Amino acid sequence: MKKVSWLLVISFVLVLSLVGCSVGKTTEPVGNVEPTEIMVSAAASLQNSMDEVQKEYALVKPEIKLIINFAGSGTLQQQIEQGAPADLFVSAGKKQMDALETKNLLVKESRIDLLGNDLVLVTGKDNSKITSLEDLTKADKISIGTPESVPAGKYAKETLTSLKLWDAVQPKLVLAKDVTQVLNYVETGNVEAGLVYQSDAKSSTKVKVVSAAPESSHTSIVYPAAVISATKNKQEAEDFLKYLQSSDAMKIFETYGFKTLVK
């Protein structure tokens, strides 16, 4: 009988302790709330600057968690068209943003021209053969972004066509999925030269800028931004877009070689 009694007592104590634990779990502080996630689709050329912006915004708005998807603007456009989650889109070209606006996939009144950039010719630091855009005819391999889907590639094709170099260099071209890949090809020596943004060239210690493309040789380089109409966090996305236009954010972008377009 004594053994049975002790077993009952032990069982009773265990039940009480379990109840106590479960009660403890339901009384977590109300303020311990998960941050709201904002999905940002951003052109690959923005990665270094946006990574820094992301860190700064976490200090300003700790209740917001930015998740940034970097890729070529054409790829991001297709993802958004196919229903991939995105609250905000920052493109490296107007063409991709125009396509989304035509399909009513943007909050139209939110669209702005955020940044500008320059197109430059880069080579490896030890390359002495290519000293100008005209010297591209001497190169064995040249990389640009795929003109149909990569804005930097489109600007590159316009420049080479304007300078009457396109036909001569086309057989030498290695097309890339985004401008970051172009830069990587030049850095690793897989190609002798590439056409990238000034902001990309500035971020690399392995390439040198040989020449800037004349502004008259290509359409204006503009990075538009807009809130995606399917967002479930419209206010939060608009708040972040407003922050991107702030002087604090613009200082970061300028440090990485971008031009300010917001007045």
Mean pLDDT calculated for residue range 32-59? 94
Residues 89 and 209 in one domain: no
What band does 262 get if pLDDT is binned at 50, 70 and 90?
Answer: confident
Establish if 22 belongs to a structural domain.
no
Q: Which domain holds residue 252?
A: 36-116+222-260
3 domain residue, yes or no: no
> How many domains are contained in the chain?
2
For 234, the token pair is: 């419209």
Does residue 188 lie within any of the structural domains? yes
| 21 pLDDT more than 80 | no
The pLDDT of residue 263: 74
- State the pLDDT at residue 16: 43
Task: Note whether 211 and 234 are same-domain residues.
Answer: no
pLDDT given at position 133 = 98
Q: Is position 15 within any domain?
A: no
Would residue 126 count as lying in a domain? yes
Looking at the fold, whether 200 and 80 belong to one and the same domain comes out as no
Quick one: 109 and 179 in the same domain?
Answer: no
pLDDT of residue 29: 36
The 10s digit of each residue's pLDDT in 97-154 is 999 999 999 999 999 999 999 999 999 999 999 999 999 999 999 999 999 999 999 9
pLDDT above 90 (res 212):
yes
- Does residue 25 form part of some domain? no
Q: Between 239 and 11, whose confidence is greater?
A: 239
Let me know whether 108 and 141 are in one domain.
no
CA pair distance 247, 263, nearest whole angstrom: 10
- pLDDT of the residue at 191: 98
Q: Is the pLDDT of residue 12 over 50?
A: no
Residue 161 lies in a domain: yes
* Statement: residue 194 has pLDDT above 70: yes
Strands (E), the chain: 36-43, 64-71, 88-90, 112-116, 119-124, 142-145, 173-176, 193-197, 207-212, 222-227, 259-260
- Cβ-count burial 174-209 (b if 16+ within 10 Å, e if not): eebbbbbbbbbbbbeeebbbbbbbbbbbbbbeebbe
- Band of residue 31 on the pLDDT scale cut at 50, 70, 90: low
Helix (H) or strand (E) holding 155: helix 151-162
Same domain, 89 and 49: yes
Predicted local confidence at residue 33, as pLDDT: 76
Tell whether 112 and 226 lie within a shared domain: yes
Contact 252, 49 (CB under 8 A): yes
Burial class (CB in 10 A: 0-12, 13-18, 19+), 256: buried
Residues 132 and 204 in one domain: yes
d(CA 174, CA 19): 67
Amino acid at 159: T
Is it the case that residue 173 has pLDDT exceeding 70?
yes
- Average pLDDT rounded to a whole number, residues 180-192: 97
- CATH number of the domain where residue 133 is located: 3.40.190.10
Q: Are residues 126 and 109 in the same domain?
A: no
| Any domain includes 24 | no
Q: 139 and 75 share a domain?
A: no
pLDDT tens string 55-99: 999 999 999 999 999 999 999 999 999 999 999 999 999 999 999
pLDDT at 20 over 70: no
Mean pLDDT of 241-249: 97
Q: Given a cut of 60, is residue 54 above it in pLDDT?
A: yes
* Residue 6 in this model has a pLDDT that exceeds 60: no
Distance CA(88)–CA(175), nearest Å, equals 27
Are residues 253 and 129 located together in one domain of the fold? Answer: no
- Same domain, yes or no: 173 and 205: yes
Average pLDDT on 36-58 reads 97
